[in-house]
Structure 1
């Protein structure tokens, strides 16, 4: 398990608790989110960011939402460098998140998800949605055998369908020159 502690100069938890009203512990990221092994308590779904596919891990073992720093760089996402978390891994090594991507919108199977993501080197997962997002959904019904997750949002019932890990499905596409130009506004 990887736990997170705020930098010593910041007040205990401060903004780190934003969006996690039901959580009274320090922020955590599951070991699964880092190594990417199969685990029945998680769900991998296809998402889209700027018209490109990516893999989203939905895992209640994480208190916050994380995005891989490679994805942030590749897509040229805006970063608030002042919003940092210090992560303590199981071996007690400390790693600092590189900042936060606030209000980032991605789409998961037609459902827009706009939420804050902390930037972390999450080698196995491009995006990790944790309790910070899950608690906004209310009652959730999970079927790990069928790899489905159902919930109501805006009065409508939605069901996300997970994907099984297969060769090639976890590759992110590179942006072409035109797309990069549009990101930077030049």
Structure 2
């Protein structure tokens, strides 16, 4: 969904699988917001990888159209999303009615009923290979399956896929080696 932070439009995701709220490091830097750098918070990602967050932005005001909320957002780097609203925020709402088909979420906020709607244009997008190479501060845990269909248009690699994949393979060379023993 779309929201605003300090008047700037952001892409936000409501995620009941996230224990806390997370905000993009890049967004906070661009807005020049002051954060608390005295925290140490470990995050276990869905795939089992662990990363650390060492900065939290307290009292971050988020304008969601029908309501304004204040959250604590741990700084994190992720692609394409500026803000993740997790259980830390969701638990404050009480009863919530979800309609997955309509991408709607209803809850009471003060004396009004708030209906937040997802933006269908944000739910699916094609990721270029160049975007993969910009992922940072997250351990590379996973496999990349490439199905090359068709030929290069005009004899050129339009989105730089070959170069990006070569760089990824070189950077994580050990991952692509044949295992010689069982993992620990």
TM-score in terms of structure 1 length: 0.61
Aligned equivalents of 2:19 and 2:46: distance in 1? 16
Kindly indicate whether the alpha-carbon contact (under 8 Å) linking 2:22 and 2:74 is maintained by their aligned counterparts in 1: yes
Aligned equivalents of 1:103 and 1:110: distance in 2? 19
1:95 Cα offset (Å)? 2.2
Are residues 1:143 and 2:99 paired? yes
1:51 Cα offset (Å)? 1.4
Matches within 5 A, 1:50-129: 50-89=6-45, 93-129=49-85
Partner of 1:130: 86
Q: Secondary structure at the match of 1:56?
A: strand
TM-score in terms of structure 2 length: 0.62
Q: Which has the higher strand share?
A: 1
Distance 1:126 1:156, change over 3 A: same
Unpaired runs of 5+ in structure 2? Answer: 126-184
Kindly indicate whether the alpha-carbon contact (under 8 Å) linking 1:148 and 1:161 is maintained by their aligned counterparts in 2: yes
Q: For CA contacts below 8 A with separation 6 or more, give which structure has more relative contact order.
A: 1
1:98 Cα offset (Å)? 3.2
Q: Which has the higher helix share?
A: 2
For each residue in 1:15-61, what CA deviation from the matched residue of structure 2 results, as whole angstroms up to 9, or x when unmatched?
xxxxxxxxxxxxxxxxxxxxxxxxxxxxxx11011211111100101
Kindly indicate whether the alpha-carbon contact (under 8 Å) linking 1:98 and 1:120 is maintained by their aligned counterparts in 2: no
RMSD, matched Cα: 2.0
| Runs of 4+ in structure 1 over 6 Å off | none
Partner of 1:160: 116
Unpaired runs of 5+ in structure 1? Answer: 1-44, 170-186
